[in-house]
Structure 1
């Protein structure tokens, strides 16, 4: 990848270059790669309905897709997690008394109170038939492994004399949802169990499976069982692995067994998370392959959070510029496109954003997709049109208002992590009118930086106290989810180092929560801690907490800056024509550097065509 980029920067890559790309190889001769020759495009229920979506809501989104999106290539409708629980809850999971729906062979079936057409043992077949009649495809979410309830009941494995209790291990059980046990791949009955699952799903007419708790950590043995079981059915079921980041050391294995695999954890409408995708996409670009797609995760656009795990009913928090950045990066990276919002609630602007034919064409039919440069927070990507030899160029301005150094803070904690999960802060705020609670990523690369401000208290000289969590903040940002008073950012209690706190604020790095201070208070005290929801995951999180009494930002950069690209970098001749892909406008010939103005957090997207003969 570095060699390829150096060639580009040196101008050695001509517009119609046929030099071998490290990035995109021909797919191995395996039938399943042909089932997703372009990145899958569809809708998934997770971002708006969490684990509680119903049949009526699924059909409403399918109806909208068939009417408004199908002609643009959108075709999959995916019912996400826990469709087999009749009494699941929004903003989390019901693990206290779940109403399971499971068949005699230990296979979950749809909850009929949520999916009425599944009653009488019909499963998802009636819903799949409904979608197929509209020219759409049907997908479901699964958890890796065998149901705990099937193990406890020793339910038989179809076609064998074995039971679920013969193939399981509690080792490796997902820390965040305890529905399943690990299937031990080498045990007799393990393959037969997965075979029975996919026999059932194929009979229902399933076209797509998203299998969770599979990629991080990477479960190669179960992945291979799943691949064999899908192939055995003879049905073209696209296989998506989740969540991420999939270990890059296992990229080749993923290519050989799955149609798509996640490159990140759950992605929400957070600029911090979107900005991280520039580095993520750059490192995964070399593994883009027809039929096997690195997956940058869902598009948290439109109306989100109706009954989701994170946040409240809202329109996406992304600005218009950030929404365009998202669609531009996902398209030139050739990520699968799975819309997360409620489609019937889509505005005309959202519909236009996700149906732009010139932008979607890059996602569906481009080659040699790669980062061209990154100069600080100015980023360029290029790709080629294999039919015309044209070049696609995406330019991004990811500049942020720069944070002040930690030395400017009125107080700062040591690094907070699993080994040192909390620290106390005591700050003199005499004369201050503003208070900023700032949580910064500790730089360990994990996305589990759930931070809790515990018992944040203002005190005056006479000993009078005021709980800061009772005051409204003037603004609040979080790198994931949203800041929440008296709850963790994941919606649970404030739980640090085994102790539960009633008062505080839950947030996630990188985060700034700003308050106007009432007069007369002279001290601020708080304990800051790593929430147990993060401490229990993988390696936990690492962050630093800082308190400012003046703005934690340096002066803001300009709203727009030029992002220059030379003809040599592009590998195109003078006189090449430029088209703006978002607007469709012709921008005229290139006779020197191309240096469009790009808005902060925004993107430009262009097609560059060689001059007509004789010009």
Structure 2
């Protein structure tokens, strides 16, 4: 790198800045069946290889209370592990350190000892088995049956009923589960079956959010699944830190191509402490049935496009691969300081244009850099390789400028155009001083 231009990286971030969460989530590889050994192994990899680049959350996804969980399929009406106050607790067979009523406290303590933060997935509502057994609610003389909204059920999972916010004892239930999670040392809550359920479950979301934010521990609140409702953007901002703008995102080009339109619609709602979430990063080893070699189906070019779009858009970054099997190319993808810096420092990102040039579809995005300068990203969304030269005037820069392409590290002095050679489905990202 030359002396005339310094790329903003994590060191450029003011400690008071709010930035999108970054970390790892167990869903892509293990679905509902992740266990403690797997979580610990991935946490150790993050601590040794990724923590210094800003990756910090370790999140256990769905059905950690289910003894018979089997990957991405759910056992209907299955028995869950639950305490006497209608609260789900970890299955000790899969999470042995949770025995003797310790819950996730020992696993959270281990993650914290690595300098990382710990998260869990929850479903909106109260366990159906608690309602059927009419179990107690901590801090209330009401029972699970008194507060359940039995007509409010998840379309794809049978574990829970909704909670009726108008019922006495409903707030006590949500207060009790977040008090439990705070006692465990949880730093991140991914709440499912709620993001796209508005407006029907709007009051439950508000109540849940109030309980979380009054539990005495700072926790990120992430809402799933998507797609989120654009007309409810302000409510998401007031209740949560991040919310899914898509259904489950997997490693196929069409899903990635569709994300450009989603990001274009949601980019105006990204700001300090509230982030539209483009979903997880299916990179590296993905233990899916459809992938015989247990690798992501994205090409390296498509992975660069995904990381570039997520970063300039300022989406949270959550890795979905098995980090214990991380290869050199995946590690390089996840540790590019300029790209991660863009994710943290991008402001007011938006698409500039989308057009056919030279027989292929090109998309141009730009954003202000919070510490000075400007970002730009060029995407080749077409099927042909291309050489691009885009005048800086398209970014409303009417001068020559120093710039660095963030993926290659190539620097340009006093240029008046963005220049790149792009393979199909590839991207280039620039910091312009």
Report TM bin, short chain.
over 0.9
Q: Does 1:345 align with 2:325?
A: yes
Separation in structure 2 between the aligned mates of residue 80 and residue 387 of structure 1, nearest angstrom: 35
Match of 1:397 among 380, 386, 393: 380
Match of 1:561 among 370, 383, 386: 386
Retained in 2: the 8 A contact 1:35–1:291?
no
Q: Does 1:359 align with 2:343?
A: no
Retained in 1: the 8 A contact 2:313–2:346?
no
* Unaligned segments of structure 1, at least 5 residues: 1-33, 401-557, 610-615
Alignment correspondent of 1:387: 371
Q: Greater helix share, 1 or 2? A: 2
Residues 4-46 of structure 1 show CA distances to partners (whole Å, capped at 9, x for unaligned) of: xxxxxxxxxxxxxxxxxxxxxxxxxxxxxx9991000000000
The CA deviation at 1:605 is 0.7
The CA deviation at 1:99 is 3.7
Tell me: CA distance 1:91–1:53, structure 2 relative to 1, closer, same or farther (3 Å): same
Alignment correspondent of 1:474: none
Aligned length: 413
Retained in 2: the 8 A contact 1:36–1:259?
no
Separation in structure 2 between the aligned mates of residue 378 and residue 214 of structure 1, nearest angstrom: 35
Retained in 2: the 8 A contact 1:140–1:209?
yes
The CA deviation at 1:172 is 2.9
Residues 407-442 of structure 1 show CA distances to partners (whole Å, capped at 9, x for unaligned) of: xxxxxxxxxxxxxxxxxxxxxxxxxxxxxxxxxxxx
Query: What does 1:179-258 correspond to in 2, within 5 Å?
Result: 179-218=159-198, 219-258=201-240
Q: Does 1:596 align with 2:426?
A: no
Structure 2 SS opposite 1:223 = helix
TM-score by length of 1: 0.65
Separation in structure 2 between the aligned mates of residue 365 and residue 60 of structure 1, nearest angstrom: 30
Structure 2 SS opposite 1:141 = strand
The CA deviation at 1:230 is 1.1
Alignment correspondent of 2:89: 109
The CA deviation at 1:567 is 2.4
Separation in structure 2 between the aligned mates of residue 248 and residue 585 of structure 1, nearest angstrom: 38
Tell me: CA distance 1:177–1:313, structure 2 relative to 1, closer, same or farther (3 Å): farther
Separation in structure 2 between the aligned mates of residue 577 and residue 48 of structure 1, nearest angstrom: 42
The CA deviation at 1:348 is 0.8
The CA deviation at 1:594 is 3.1
Residues 474-506 of structure 1 show CA distances to partners (whole Å, capped at 9, x for unaligned) of: xxxxxxxxxxxxxxxxxxxxxxxxxxxxxxxxx
Retained in 2: the 8 A contact 1:35–1:237?
no
Separation in structure 1 between the aligned mates of residue 233 and residue 295 of structure 2, nearest angstrom: 35
The CA deviation at 1:565 is 2.4
The CA deviation at 1:597 is 2.8
Separation in structure 2 between the aligned mates of residue 586 and residue 314 of structure 1, nearest angstrom: 36
Separation in structure 2 between the aligned mates of residue 36 and residue 178 of structure 1, nearest angstrom: 40
Alignment correspondent of 1:142: 122
The CA deviation at 1:607 is 1.1
Alignment correspondent of 1:70: 51
Alignment correspondent of 1:17: none
Retained in 1: the 8 A contact 2:315–2:343?
yes
Retained in 2: the 8 A contact 1:84–1:102?
yes
The CA deviation at 1:588 is 3.2
Residues 179-220 of structure 1 show CA distances to partners (whole Å, capped at 9, x for unaligned) of: 000111111111111000101000000000000000112231
Alignment correspondent of 1:445: none
Tell me: CA distance 1:386–1:36, structure 2 relative to 1, closer, same or farther (3 Å): closer
* Unaligned segments of structure 2, at least 5 residues: 1-14
The CA deviation at 1:386 is 2.2
The CA deviation at 1:312 is 5.7
Match of 1:606 among 419, 430, 433: 430
Tell me: CA distance 1:226–1:202, structure 2 relative to 1, closer, same or farther (3 Å): same
The CA deviation at 1:595 is 4.2
Query: What does 1:565-580 correspond to in 2, within 5 Å?
Result: 565-580=390-405
Alignment correspondent of 1:375: 355
Retained in 1: the 8 A contact 2:225–2:246?
yes
Alignment correspondent of 1:88: 69
Structure 1 outlier segments of 4+, above 6 Å: none
Structure 1 SS opposite 2:31 = helix
